[in-house]
Amino acid sequence: MDAALHSLLLANAPQLSEAEITGPSQGGLQAVPSLLGSQRFRKLKLRPHWGEALSLPQGPYLAALEELDLSNCRLRQLPPSLAAATRLRRLVLYSNPALHMPDSCVAGTLARLQQLSRLDLDSWCPPPMTPQAFAALLRTLG
């Protein structure tokens, strides 16, 4: 679906508050900010094209998000742009077995998500952060 069609769809669906977007090709999710330009979206699920890792683009769409599903996005680290999602209450990170969150990421990106009340991780994957970073995160969000 091209950008003009997306814009037309969004203009005619003012109550739309949830979206699931799959990247059509290399870098396809870079169009997310222009597609979701409005700040009315509360829930967003992103899926990169098969075989790609997700790169979460900057944009005002992040500011209103309350739930972001980045499961199965082949993340190796948390996208720095995630820090702009200051209303985020739930972050889903299932099925990202290579995900690693160093202490600096937890103290930086995750600590800015003051509304975060639910962080979904896999129990079968290696822990993405050190026990010390996890304890610091719990104190920050607590």
- Which residue is it, tokens 């829930």? 43
**Nearest residue to 105 via CA among 70, 69, 134:** 134
Query: Is pLDDT above 90 for 24?
Result: no
Query: Is pLDDT above 80 for 78?
Result: yes
b/e per residue, 20-48, with b = 16+ CB within 10 A?
A: ebebeeeeebebbeebbeeeebbebbbbb
| Mean pLDDT confidence for 24-52 | 65
Which CATH number covers residue 29? Answer: 3.80.10
Compare 126 and 56 and report the one with higher pLDDT.
Answer: 56
Full-model pTM: 0.76
Output the pLDDT for position 26: 45
Query: Is pLDDT above 60 for 1?
Result: no
| Mean pLDDT confidence for 109-122 | 87
Number of domains into which the chain is organized? 1
Output the pLDDT for position 63: 85
State the residue range of the domain holding 53.
3-141
Read off the tokens for 61: 């769409």
Query: Is pLDDT above 90 for 61?
Result: no
Most confident of 3-7, 12-16, 29-33: 12-16
| Mean pLDDT confidence for 65-71 | 92
| Mean pLDDT confidence for 85-99 | 90
Most confident of 3-17, 41-55, 66-80: 66-80
Which residues lie closer than 8 Å to 58 by C-beta, 6 or more apart?
A: 33, 81, 84
